[in-house]
Amino acid sequence: MQSRAAVSLEESNQDSNPPPIPSIKTTIPPQSRGLPLRLLRLFLLFLSLCLAFSFISIYAIRRFGVQNVVTTVKSGFIPSCIGGGADSFATLERFVAPPSNLLHRMSDEELLWRATLVPRIRKYPFRRVPKLAFMFLSKGPLPLAPLWERFFRGHQGLYSIYLHSLPTFEAKFPPSSVFYRRQVPSKVSEWGKMSMCDAERRLLANALLDISNEWFILLSESCIPLYNFSIIYSYIRRSNHSFMGAFDDEGPYGRGRYNENMAPEVNITQWRKGSQWFELRRHLAVSIVEDTKYYPKFKEFCRPHCYVDEHYFPTMLTIEAPNDLANRSITWVDWSRGGAHPATFGRADITVEFFKRLYDSQKCKYNDREEFRICHLFARKFSPSALEPLLNISQQVLGF
């Protein structure tokens, strides 16, 4: 299925011949003595250029769809000439095309509202290739980006990338990078606070604006993929569940963090805990973004030391859509060293044996299979020093 999707995508790119350019006629009226002739000539030339561009763009949109317009005609030209320009009204392609510039100027309130617009007719009247949205929640740079570049290579059209970082950080990826211009408008987010959940909702909302995104994966800058793209894509596509960690921890760090003021929206039996690194189906992403029922309760009553990012989404989705959840995360992490933070792996840890142990230790439920051998698709935490050895063994161990 996915290779078919990739092939048909390529096909659609092939008929992108540049549209024929209509001839441009510049006529100069004879009676122009009253006005400075040069100025008038310049003005007319500009006007006819504008007209020509708008004709080309209208023609191209009708004939070839949107993407080709973007590549053949500098799109910035159109609105400056005919104000409003090639309207998004003319074709569906233009309406469903993903935003070309992620740095919009919407407020969070406006963004979330817009992201929750959902079509009521289930069948898409166009060919929709469902994509994985990889949402990176980072402080600043992505030290493992070269590994991810390798992972994504050759799978254009099946994924989209979003990067949320500190607002002061300006990503400088070259145009050839998969991360180029994938930064979304960001705000400061702190672990354990509501601002962290706000950042995750902001990422989800930005990714929802692309109607082809079907699965939404939250990752950090210290995450790596454990399999090649094809395996990850089909594992997620074939799963009947979304991978959100959610379990009922009866101890002080689980139910102990529940506050009775959250009732009746949240009952203690519904209180869940789980790691924030999730994978969610589109309709669940929408229910998180649209939530106004649980949000105020968590914001007010899940304060330090409640760690709201470990409870809000797992609890909310357990109440709203329990049967859609696998209740486990697909991101592997090592807590075996103890302490408040999971283990971080650096240069010296990266060996073939390390990954062999990691792969061999897996066993979990996947759809109706009780003891499936692929349980985690991603792993954390890897330090920047792990990059070089990872690149050395990625082909052999990770399969890309």
Ligand X SMILES: *[C@@H]1O[C@H](CO)[C@@H](O)[C@H](O)[C@H]1NC(C)=O
Shortest separation between residue 247's beta carbon and ligand X, angstroms:
8
Q: Which two tokens stand for residue 87?
A: 């309207």
If one asks whether residue 58 binds ligand X (CB under 6 A), the answer comes out as no
Out of 143, 192, 346, 399, the only residue in the binding site for ligand X (CB under 6 A) is 399
Match 């979003």 to its residue by tokens: 162
Output 25 or 122, the one with its CB closest to ligand X. Answer: 122
Burial 114-151 (b: 16+ CB within 10 A, else e): ebbeeeeeeeeeeeebbbbbbbbbbeebbbbbebbebb
Output 68 or 318, the one with its CB closest to ligand X. Answer: 318
Out of 100, 240, 361, 395, the only residue in the binding site for ligand X (CB under 6 A) is 240
Q: In the range 290-319, which residues lie near ligand X by CB under 6 A?
A: 318
* Alpha carbon distance 318, 324 (integer Å): 9
Out of 276, 327, 329, 331, the only residue in the binding site for ligand X (CB under 6 A) is 327
DSSP string, 279-311: EEEHHHHHHHHT--SSHHHHHHH--TTS-GGGT
If one asks whether residue 394 binds ligand X (CB under 6 A), the answer comes out as no
Q: Judged by CB under 6 A, which stretch of 74-82, 112-120, 161-169, 325-333 contacts ligand X?
A: 325-333
Contacts of 227 (CB under 8 A, 6+ apart): 235, 374, 377, 398, 399, 400
If one asks whether residue 385 binds ligand X (CB under 6 A), the answer comes out as no
Shortest separation between residue 239's beta carbon and ligand X, angstroms:
8
Kindly provide the residue ranges of all beta strands, DSSP E only, lying in the chain, ordered along the sequence. Answer: 131-137, 159-164, 213-220, 224-225, 279-281, 331-332, 364-366, 369-372, 378-379
Out of 39, 188, 263, 348, the only residue in the binding site for ligand X (CB under 6 A) is 263
* Alpha carbon distance 194, 231 (integer Å): 34
Q: In the range 329-348, which residues lie near ligand X by CB under 6 A?
A: none
If one asks whether residue 269 binds ligand X (CB under 6 A), the answer comes out as yes
Shortest separation between residue 230's beta carbon and ligand X, angstroms:
4
**Which among 271, 295, 266 has a CA at the least distance from the CA of 201?**
295
Output 5 or 49, the one with its CB closest to ligand X. Answer: 5
If one asks whether residue 167 binds ligand X (CB under 6 A), the answer comes out as no
If one asks whether residue 7 binds ligand X (CB under 6 A), the answer comes out as no
Binding site for ligand X (CB under 6 A): 228, 230-231, 240-241, 263, 267, 269, 318, 322-323, 325-327, 367-368, 388-389, 392, 399
